[in-house]
Amino acid sequence: MKSFDAIVIGAGQAGPFLAARMVEKSMKVALIERKFLGGTCVNAGCMPTKTLVASARAAHVARNSAAYGVNIPGEIAIDMKVVRARAETVTMNARNGLIGWFAGMDGMTVISGHARFEDPKTVSVNGETLTAPRIFLNVGARPVIPDLPGVNDIDYLTSTSIIHLDRLPRHLAVIGGSYIGLEFAQMYRRFGAEVSIIEHGPKLASREDEDISDAIADVLRSEGIDIHTGASDIAFAKSSDGITVATDSARIDASHVLIATGRKPNTDDLGLEAAGVITDKHGYITVDDRLATNVDGIWALGDCNGRGAFTHTSYNDFEIAAANLLDGDDRKVSSRILAYALYIDPPLGRVGMTEKQARASGCKIMISTRPMSRVGRANERGETKGFMKVIADAETKKILGAAILGIEGDEVIHGIIDAMNAGTTYPALQWSVPIHPTVSELIPTLLGDLKPV
């Protein structure tokens, strides 16, 4: 049996950085990863997909360049092999960077293999047994495949496998109208494929307010994407030239099917029962406000704990654990203000409450909206789709939430994120003097238009 000061299982966006911090404290740490260092973000999520989004935007800009006085003769052609290779290069550079970083770190033992608990202080991997007083789980999540008729009879794609396509689908059917599905839908439409989105619910991006969902649908439809919401009785069958996707109201002749209906945690094969670690009904590991499980000496970080499903929340889990365990701090998950983005074009930046949540909270609220067509930077760039929206508490003057669907919305939202984290009231933020011409310069104007509801 090999002994360590700590064992980290999973090398996503929390585990490796926590392991490095512990090594800095002269601890002996084992980092176990069954597949690739970097987890979903580096290998199958943010980095490759946003690289693909950038290629798709380049194609879109080139096709529409005449409107800016730039004439490109001939048809815009897409080389999917080059597109794929570019995304793979970005991934490999990041992954190899982690490999090199760990290789030069005394006290770090990186093990490639599948770890399972033997008891609360012991795990087995590759036939060896390891023990440590502290064990951290950062095992991530994977796509979930719904039990739909015919799904096991077709060669479907997931968000993990589609990034390896090196040829353009004739017609991509996207099952699921949430964030992952929407990004791939617009991306492949811009590459030149026909695209259909099939969503069981009444709206796309159902987490958002209806006005945001409707605006997202308008953006996608304007680019020629076929949207089917409220779809039921979804079934699949092989056809002579691809896959038939049938619903209660539509029949789609697709060449490829992307299933993007959610994700589930990678917790079902860790031997958690041997350690006594409790999970909820969906398989997420139950943790307290400081990310500790019900078993002393075991913590769960990142997607597998159900307290966030983003790279930045996973990294923040590392920050919370490191601050509490290594720096004598007392940080809590409940102090985190949730923010995220949807990387369609234009992007959606979101923070805090939706309007629906704010109305349900019982607060006296104020709301302001502003179309991007009234933003100078958007007009100068010729990208005026979407709108800005902010919600505030009429009594405390604190900002409760905001959504910016529009050009650079994923960046502009950070002004509001920072204000919310600092506890700044909206009247104080109104007195900032932003740079012109930017999208952010309209935040004080947006706040000045807040009206009670």
Segment 341-363, tens digit of pLDDT? 999 999 999 999 999 999 999 99
Q: How far apart are CA 427 and CA 443, in angstroms?
A: 11
pLDDT band, residue 110 (cuts 50/70/90): very high
**Amino acid 188: pLDDT:** 98
**Which SS3 state, helix, strand or coil, does residue 372 take?**
helix
Assess whether 179 and 205 both reside in one domain: yes
pLDDT band, residue 337 (cuts 50/70/90): very high
Q: Name the residue with tokens 């020629």.
A: 224
Tokens of 37: 């260092």
Please, what is the average pLDDT of the chain?
A: 97
* Residue type, position 205, single letter: A
* 234 and 145 Cβ atoms separated by less than 8 Å: no
Q: How far apart are CA 220 and CA 193, in angstroms?
A: 13
Assess whether 132 and 162 both reside in one domain: no
The total domain count for the chain is: 3
Assess whether 24 and 84 both reside in one domain: yes
pLDDT by residue (tens digit) across 213-249?
A: 999 999 999 999 999 999 999 999 999 999 999 999 9
**Domain endpoint, select from 211, 245, 261:** 261
**Amino acid 414: pLDDT:** 98
Assess whether 123 and 17 both reside in one domain: yes
Sheet-wide strand order for 348-352: 339-342, 348-352, 399-405, 387-393, 365-371, 451-452
Total residue length of the chain: 453
Distances (CA, A) of 138 to 92, 135, 425: 21, 10, 36
**Which SS3 state, helix, strand or coil, does residue 449 take?**
coil
180 is in an annotated binding site: yes
The mean pLDDT of 87-91, rounded to a whole number, is 97
Distances (CA, A) of 228 to 120, 164, 185, 193, 225: 48, 26, 13, 17, 10
pLDDT band, residue 423 (cuts 50/70/90): very high
**Amino acid 114: pLDDT:** 97
pLDDT by residue (tens digit) across 30-76?
A: 999 999 999 999 999 999 999 999 999 999 999 999 999 999 999 99
230 is in an annotated binding site: no
182 is in an annotated binding site: yes
Assess whether 257 and 268 both reside in one domain: no
Assess whether 248 and 163 both reside in one domain: yes
pLDDT over 70, % of the chain: 100
Q: How far apart are CA 283 and CA 142, in angstroms?
A: 12
Tokens of 127: 């036939």
pLDDT band, residue 268 (cuts 50/70/90): very high
Tokens of 317: 């889990």
pLDDT by residue (tens digit) across 277-317?
A: 999 999 999 999 999 999 999 999 999 999 998 999 999 99
302 is in an annotated binding site: no
Active-site annotation holds for 436: yes
Q: How far apart are CA 220 and CA 173, in angstroms?
A: 14
Assess whether 320 and 395 both reside in one domain: no
CA nearest neighbour of 110 among 33, 18, 1, 3: 33
Tokens of 184: 């791939």
**Domain endpoint, select from 261, 278, 310:** 261
**Domain endpoint, select from 235, 261, 287:** 261
Tokens of 266: 């990678």
178 is in an annotated binding site: yes
* 269 and 116 Cβ atoms separated by less than 8 Å: yes
Assess whether 173 and 278 both reside in one domain: no
The mean pLDDT of 175-185, rounded to a whole number, is 97
Assess whether 131 and 19 both reside in one domain: yes
Domain containing residue 353: CATH number: 3.30.390.30
The mean pLDDT of 320-331, rounded to a whole number, is 97
Q: Is 362 left (phi over 0), alpha (psi -120 to 50) or beta?
A: left
Assess whether 127 and 270 both reside in one domain: yes
Q: How far apart are CA 402 and CA 365, in angstroms?
A: 13
**Amino acid 118: pLDDT:** 98
Domain containing residue 247: CATH number: 3.50.50.60
CA nearest neighbour of 243 among 170, 145, 191: 170
38 is in an annotated binding site: no
The mean pLDDT of 149-159, rounded to a whole number, is 97
284 is in an annotated binding site: no
* 220 and 348 Cβ atoms separated by less than 8 Å: no
What is the extent of the structural domain holding 447?
339-452
Q: What are phi and psi of 336, to 5 degrees?
A: -75, 130
Assess whether 75 and 188 both reside in one domain: no
Which entry of 114, 164, 171, 436 is annotated as an active-site residue? 436
Assess whether 295 and 388 both reside in one domain: no
